[in-house]
């Protein structure tokens, strides 16, 4: 395959997570495309295993040499600015990188620690470095010391269970409800398993203050804590916003239905960092895979002079581990709405482990044979939700109100 100019097209991918690596591999379908992946670390991070790193059962990293197609050039550096008018990236250490097309796959980080004392006394758990700090703090903390996990989404539940199974004294501050994604039937299973591990569940209340030795709650109670682990919310990395590109309230780059930036046809976003038509998918490795392959296809279509397709894929499950021998595999509709059906126990744990292995297998397969990745799940209701979101934004504009930020 070749382009009309005979010049190699330079495509740079920012971010070496699930979506970015899959996109980089897929872009090598064309021999006349030079693909560069810029990532701050020299290893791929399995974010779905960060709770295992904290508990000591996995290191949560994979060598990029085992995942990237041979034609992908890896640059270990941090992008500090996207200079879109000049089509170049400013790097923290190296010389600026020029691009013809940019794939924005910077992922997400911990949400802002706005609760008083949280920034000083709580340890977030959204990145490899944060997980390593939590692990180090636990090594120097007696086994019988009280630990508090704030946030009962998948990461909070998994971290609490992982530590409790090791004999740690864990309290989980759940917020309004334990595991808010789950229907009540699965929530009962999760609650029973956590309680059997000795986790103290504080439902219907939130953390309002964190001190060196305790967490104070909205209902007036206070629970002791030698180490407070913060898992309450994620936010998109802020590179796009800092670079003057349009983002949603959570920092995701605003894109059209093809995942192309609404500001610049040469920038395509994917993974946790994109808000296609203002209706983002749940931040997850499951969503990252179809988003990553679609972003690459959009770039390749533009290079070929074609018309990129709109994104219409969905995700239809969520799974959590509750220690090494128990899990819950939660089924959902293709629009990511959970249903009552779930698989608990040992089988749930096995399905969860397969769900952790599968993205790595799919990325490796795409490296070997770029263009082969397929995502069979189609979200038939996505167009309806996009229209509803557009109507809502229109009503806000007419009223003069500003949209509220949604929870990460």
Instruction: For 16-36, write each residue's pLDDT tens digit.
Output: 999 999 999 999 999 999 999
Residue identified by tokens 């309290």 is 171
pLDDT value at position 391?
77
The answer, yes or no, to whether residue 7 has pLDDT greater than 60, is: yes
pLDDT at 287: 95
* Residues linked to residue 39 through DSSP beta bridges, in sequence order: 76
**Dist CA 230 CA 157 (whole Å):** 12
* DSSP-derived secondary structure for 298-336: HHHHHHTT--PPPP-B-B-EEEEESSSS-EEEEEE-TBS
Confidence of residue 390 (pLDDT cuts 50, 70, 90): confident
pLDDT at 395: 53
pLDDT at 404 over 90: no
pTM: 0.92
Task: Evaluate if residue 1 carries a pLDDT over 50.
Answer: no
Q: Of 38, 107, 20, 37, which Cα lies nearest the Cα of 78? A: 38
pLDDT at residue 198 is higher than 90: yes
**Is residue 6's pLDDT more than 90?**
no
Examine the pLDDT at 400 and tell me if it is beyond 60.
Answer: no
Q: What is the mean pLDDT of the chain?
A: 93
Question: Residue 397 and residue 390: Cα distance in Å, rounded?
Answer: 11
3-state secondary structure of 151: coil
Beta strand 169-175 with 200-203: parallel, antiparallel or unpaired?
Answer: parallel
| The predicted structure's pLDDT at residue 5 | 53
The predicted model gives 271-294 an average pLDDT of 95
320 within 8 A of 154, measured Cβ to Cβ = yes
Which comes out higher in pLDDT, residue 1 or 237?
237
Q: Span 298-322, mean pLDDT? A: 96
Which has the minimum average pLDDT: 33-37, 131-135, 396-400? 396-400
pLDDT digits (tens, 9 = 90+) for 61-102: 999 999 999 999 999 999 999 999 999 999 999 999 999 999
Q: Is the pLDDT of residue 265 over 70?
A: yes
pLDDT of 406 higher than 80: no
**pLDDT at residue 57 in the model:** 96
Phi and psi, residue 228, nearest 5°: -105, 120
The pLDDT of residue 300 is above 70: yes
Work out the pLDDT band at 407, boundaries 50, 70, 90. Answer: very low
Residue 315 pLDDT exceeds 70? yes
Closest C-alpha to 120, from 205, 210, 15, 197: 210
**Which of 54-63, 199-208, 369-378, 396-405 shows the lowest per-residue confidence on average (mean pLDDT)?**
396-405
Q: In the prediction, which pLDDT does 151 show? A: 96
Closest CA to 21 of 291, 245, 357: 291
Residues 353-362, mean pLDDT to the nearest whole number: 97
Can you give the pLDDT at residue 226? 98
Cα distance between residue 161 and residue 145, in whole Å = 16
Distance CA 3, CA 31 (A): 10
Collect contacts of 342-351 with beta carbons under 8 A, ≥24 apart. Answer: 342/182, 342/183, 342/185, 342/186, 342/189, 344/186, 344/189, 344/193, 348/319, 349/321, 349/322, 349/323, 349/324, 349/325, 351/319, 351/327
In this prediction, residue 299 has a pLDDT band, given cuts at 50, 70 and 90, of very high
Q: 235-264, pLDDT tens digit by residue?
A: 899 999 999 999 999 899 999 999 999 999
Q: CB 385: neighbour CB atoms within 10 A?
A: 14
**Tokens representing residue 391 in the block:** 């109507």
């Amino acid at each position: 395959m070749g382009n009309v100019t005979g010049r190699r097209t330079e495509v740079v991918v920012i971010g070496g997570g699930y979506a970015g690596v899959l996109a980089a591999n897929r872009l090598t379908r064309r021999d006349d495309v030079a693909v560069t992946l810029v990532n701050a670390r020299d290893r791929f991070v399995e974010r779905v295993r960060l709770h295992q790193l904290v508990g000591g059962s996995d290191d949560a990293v994979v060598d990029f040499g085992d995942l990237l197609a041979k034609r992908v050039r890896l640059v270990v550096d941090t992008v500090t600015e996207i200079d879109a008018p000049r089509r170049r990236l400013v790097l923290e250490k190296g010389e600026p990188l020029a691009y013809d097309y940019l794939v924005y796959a910077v992922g997400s980080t911990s949400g802002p620690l706005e609760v008083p004392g949280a920034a000083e006394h709580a340890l977030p758990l959204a990145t490899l470095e944060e997980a390593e700090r939590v692990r180090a703090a636990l090594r120097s903390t007696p086994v019988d010391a009280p630990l508090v996990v704030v946030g009962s989404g998948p990461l909070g539940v998994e971290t609490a269970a992982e530590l409790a199974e090791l004999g740690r004294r864990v309290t989980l501050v759940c917020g309004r409800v334990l595991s808010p994604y789950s229907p009540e039937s699965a929530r009962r299973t999760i609650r029973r398993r956590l309680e059997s591990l000795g986790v103290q569940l504080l439902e219907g209340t939130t953390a309002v203050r964190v001190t060196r030795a305790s967490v104070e709650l909205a209902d007036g109670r206070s629970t002791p804590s030698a180490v407070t682990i913060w898992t309450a919310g994620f936010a998109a990395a802020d590179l796009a916003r800092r670079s003057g590109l349009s983002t949603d309230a959570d920092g995701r780059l605003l894109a059209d239905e093809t995942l192309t930036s609404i500001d610049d046809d040469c920038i395509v976003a994917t993974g946790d960092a994109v808000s296609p038509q203002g209706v983002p998918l749940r931040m997850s490795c499951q969503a990252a895979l179809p988003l990553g392959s679609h972003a690459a296809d959009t770039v390749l279509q533009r290079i070929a002079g074609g018309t990129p397709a709109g994104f219409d894929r969905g995700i239809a499950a969520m799974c959590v581990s509750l220690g090494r021998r128990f899990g819950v595999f939660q089924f959902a509709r293709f629009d990511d709405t959970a249903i009552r059906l779930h698989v608990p126990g040992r089988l749930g744990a096995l399905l969860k482990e397969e769900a952790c292995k599968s993205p790595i297998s799919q990325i490796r397969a795409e490296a070997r044979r770029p263009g082969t990745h397929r995502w069979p799940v189609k979200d038939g209701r996505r167009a309806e939700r996009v229209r509803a979101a557009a109507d809502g934004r229109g009503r806000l504009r007419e009223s003069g109100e500003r949209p509220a930020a949604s929870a990460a």
